[in-house]
Structures are given as C-alpha cells and as structure tokens.
Amino acid sequence: MQSLFDLSLEELTEILAGWGEPRYRARQIWAWAYRRGATEFEGMTDLPKSLRVRLAQTFTLSTLRLIAERVSSDGWTRKWLFALPDGTQIEAVLMEYTDRRTACVSTQAGCAMGCAFCATGQMGLLRNLTTGEIIEQVLWVGRWLASRGERLTHVVFMGMGEPLANYGNTAKALRLLIHPDGFRFGQRRITVSTVGIVPGIRRFAQEGWEVNLAISLHAATDDLRNRLVPINRIYPLQMLMAAARDYVERTRRRLTCEWVMIHGVNDTMEQANALVEWIRGMLGTSAVGHLVHVNLIPLNPTPGFPGEASPPARIEAFRRTLEKARIPCTVRVRRGIDVAAGCGQLRAEITGRKPLLAVPF
Ligand code: SAH
Ligand code: SF4
C-alpha cells in the first residue's frame, strides 16, 4: 500500500480532487499526519467518515514495524530497528544531549559506497528508502519524544546509506519535512552528510535551502582517500573541494568536514597539514572565512575493519594544527557505542551483499 508520506501536497490534492473532495482536505490530512501524530486515518475526526475509510483503503501512515529497541547504558542514546513491508531492516537513532534531541535517520538500507571503516558500507546496498520511509523515521522519533513531553530539535541524515546517492527521495523527504503545511521543521536544524558525491553536492547547492551540509572527508591526499573512501576514485579531492567551495560561495552556509580519526592512518601531521592546505585553498579564492568547520570523530569499532581510534593525544595534536591555521575544529563526543549506534555502526542483523562501487549519477 502506498505511504501517504510519499506524496507532496500537490499530489495528494490532485488525488483527492479526483475523488470529488475540496482542495482544503489535503492540508487537513497533512496537519493530522505531520503535526498531530496520527498513525491511522480513523482518528481524523474532522474528516467525513466515508473519506476516512477510503483513505485507509488507499494509503498507509505507518510502514515501519518495530523489531527491537536498544538503549545505551547512559540512557542518552536509543536505537530502533525497524522492518519495512518487504522485510528489509533499517535503523534510526535518537541522541539526547542536555538541550538537544537529535534524530539520526537512514536514507538507504545498506550502502554501496564501501567505505572501509563503516559497518553500513561493509554490508553493501540492499535498496534505496522511499520518501515515506525516510519521513516516518523522523516522525517516529518525534512522536516518541512527544509522548514524554519533549520535542525533536535536530535531524541528521547520518544513519545508514548515502543520502545523495538516493537524491530524489532524500530531497523530497527534506521538502516535506520543512514544508509549512508539513512537519514545519527548521531548515537550519537539519544536516545532510555526504561521502562526497560531486554532482549531488552541486545539485544540493542549487535547491535554495538553508539545510546544513557535511562532507565526510577523512583524508587529504587522493592516495589515502582512495583506500578509505573508494568513491574518491570517481570524485577525487580536487573535484570535491571545488564543489565544496562553490557550495559555500553560493549558499553562504557553514560547511562541516567530517574526519574519522583512525590511529596511525589518517591522524598524522602530514594529513593535518594537507587538510589545512585544502581548506586554505578554498578560503583563498573567496571570502568564505570561518564557513568551514572540521569535526573529528574518533573511530568506532566495526566488525569488518581492523583499525583503532586515535588516542586522545593524537586527536588533540591534529586539532591544534587546524586551530593554529585558524580553522574551527571540534572533536565529536563518542556516543551509543555499547548499543552499536555510534557513527558508522548501524548495521541491521541481516546478511548483506558485498560492497559494490556504484556511480549514482
Ligand atoms: N553516507 C554518509 C552519511 C552516513 S555516515 C556519509 O558517509 O557521510 C555518517 C558519518 O559517520 C560519516 O561521517 C561517516 O564517515 C561516519 N562513520 C562511518 N563509519 C564510522 C566509524 N566506524 N566510526 C566513526 N564514524 C564513522
Ligand atoms: Fe556509505 Fe557513509 Fe558508510 Fe561510506 S561512511 S559506506 S558513504 S554510509
């Protein structure tokens, strides 16, 4: 059955018009579905009974079936494993900080990009998620928080999969989440993280959004990046950094560069200095000072990668090198590792296919 969350307001209005319903009905239904937490049509009491029945026969509001919930020992990170109607399994995570309630959602079941250190990459791509499947994860977390009198404050597209390799469905989900008649979520409170798919970044830059973008860089020489992030062979650093610079120039939005710290691999001074050079190159050609921010992420363990997290002293040395070059840099707090909900650890308990390197455009 089709998910109501796959449809834009125009598409729903069109269908309802075909049923002889007035135009305002679509907005009424959206208010229930996106903002009043409805999970079935029956409870939409301001709609005629016959319409509720027809909607329920045609659309679904809940495609996610909860399979398991795990909570980190500190209680601040919660991971849900869901089954989709075809049996595919995906995960979504809630991370609570003092004043932040962040949902981390998946855009694909698995991932084709094959990054060596990432659990999702190690399982390969099963399939893209639909717009509705992406949106429902956000609504799920929102409802969970609401039932405790709390509110979702941030959404990050950093779960399973590469958002820009599923561009159409990810972009549509974003549009519906920020839509004033939809979920009404603040654009600046959303971050999309990409491994560096250049045509996707260029397209993203033209959307006219204020949604944040993060690029998973992890290495500042093509040699090393080719090994850690195989998509670099298709979109090498020169091409990626040019797209990143154009993105910042065009949108004037701050760009985050993510860097997983792997002991003895990419945490060297040579890499730190090369990173400084790339960012200087970006800043030098335009007035984009302070619009680039580096986020260092200590490696979380995954079954398929032998590397270890850099020790704190090396992370600090790396950070200081950037700081001396006046590049803002923060170290991400490790969270949820005991429930395998840390960065890159999301992996449904299914036998995935071997990673394959697909060109998504
Ligand atoms: N595919 C996108 C978004 C999902 S991954 C991307 O790669 O950006 C979200 C973040 O987790 C990325 O920065 C990714 O590099 C990082 N990550 C992956 N595996 C990790 C691991 N084992 N430890 C720490 N971070 C990891
Ligand atoms: Fe895919 Fe991102 Fe994992 Fe790379 S780090 S395999 S792009 S999910």
Give residue 352's pLDDT band: very low, low, confident or very high (50, 70, 90). very low
165-214 pLDDT, tens digit each: 999 999 999 999 999 999 999 999 999 999 999 999 999 999 999 999 99
Q: What is the pLDDT of residue 341?
A: 66
Contact 287, 295 (CB under 8 A): no
Fold observed for domain 65-351: TIM Barrel (3.20.20)
Q: Closest ligand 1 atom, CA of 305?
A: 22
Ligand nearest to the CA of 218: 1
Contact 336, 72 (CB under 8 A): yes
**124 CA to centre of ligand 2 in angstroms:** 10
Residues with CB under 6 A from ligand 1: 117-118, 158, 162, 193-195, 216, 258, 260, 297, 299-300, 302, 343-344
**138 CA to centre of ligand 2 in angstroms:** 20
Q: Which of 114-123, 137-146, 257-266, 277-286 has the lowest mean pLDDT?
A: 277-286
Coil, strand, or helix at residue 297? strand
Q: What is the pLDDT of residue 89?
A: 94
**23 CA to centre of ligand 2 in angstroms:** 42
222-242 pLDDT, tens digit each: 999 999 999 999 999 999 999
**314 CA to centre of ligand 2 in angstroms:** 24
**177 CA to centre of ligand 2 in angstroms:** 23
**Residue of the CA atom closest to atom 8 of ligand 1:** 194
Ligand nearest to the CA of 232: 2
Phi, then psi, of 88 in degrees rounded to 5: -60, 145
Those residues with Cβ within 8 angstroms of residue 95's Cβ, 6 or more apart along the chain or in another chain: 76, 77, 101, 102, 104, 335, 336
Those residues with Cβ within 8 angstroms of residue 120's Cβ, 6 or more apart along the chain or in another chain: 110, 111, 160, 161, 344, 346, 347
Amino acid type, 156: V
34-51 pLDDT, tens digit each: 999 999 999 999 999 999
The model carries a pTM of 0.94
Best probe residue, ligand 2, of 118, 123, 297 (max atoms within 8 Å of C-beta): 118
> Would the pLDDT of 281 be above 90?
no
> Would the pLDDT of 359 be above 60?
no
**30 CA to centre of ligand 2 in angstroms:** 33
**Residue of the CA atom closest to atom 4 of ligand 1:** 158
Active site residue 118: no
Q: How far apart are CA 119 and CA 113, in angstroms?
A: 11
Ligand nearest to the CA of 217: 1
Q: What is the pLDDT of residue 342?
A: 67
Bridge partners (DSSP) of residue 295 are 258, 330
Q: Which of 129-138, 312-321, 345-354 has the lowest mean pLDDT?
A: 345-354
Best probe residue, ligand 2, of 93, 107, 108, 115 (max atoms within 8 Å of C-beta): 115
Q: What is the pLDDT of residue 330?
A: 95
Give residue 285's pLDDT band: very low, low, confident or very high (50, 70, 90). low
Catalytic residue from among 21, 91, 96, 133: 91
Residues with CB under 6 A from ligand 2: 111, 113-115, 118, 120-121, 161-162, 195, 216, 344
**Residue of the CA atom closest to atom 6 of ligand 2:** 121
> Is-same-fold flag (2-60; 65-351)?
no
In the chain, where the domains are located: 2-60, 65-351
**Residue of the CA atom closest to atom 19 of ligand 1:** 344
Please compute the mean of the pLDDT values over residues 124-144 and round it to a whole number: 98
106-130 pLDDT, tens digit each: 999 999 999 999 999 999 999 999 9
Q: Does domain 2-60 have CATH number 3.40.140.10?
A: no
Distances (CA, A) of 111 to 13, 75, 203, 358: 34, 28, 20, 10
Catalytic residue from among 111, 118, 329, 343: 343
Active site residue 91: yes
Q: What is the pLDDT of residue 343?
A: 63
Contact 100, 156 (CB under 8 A): no
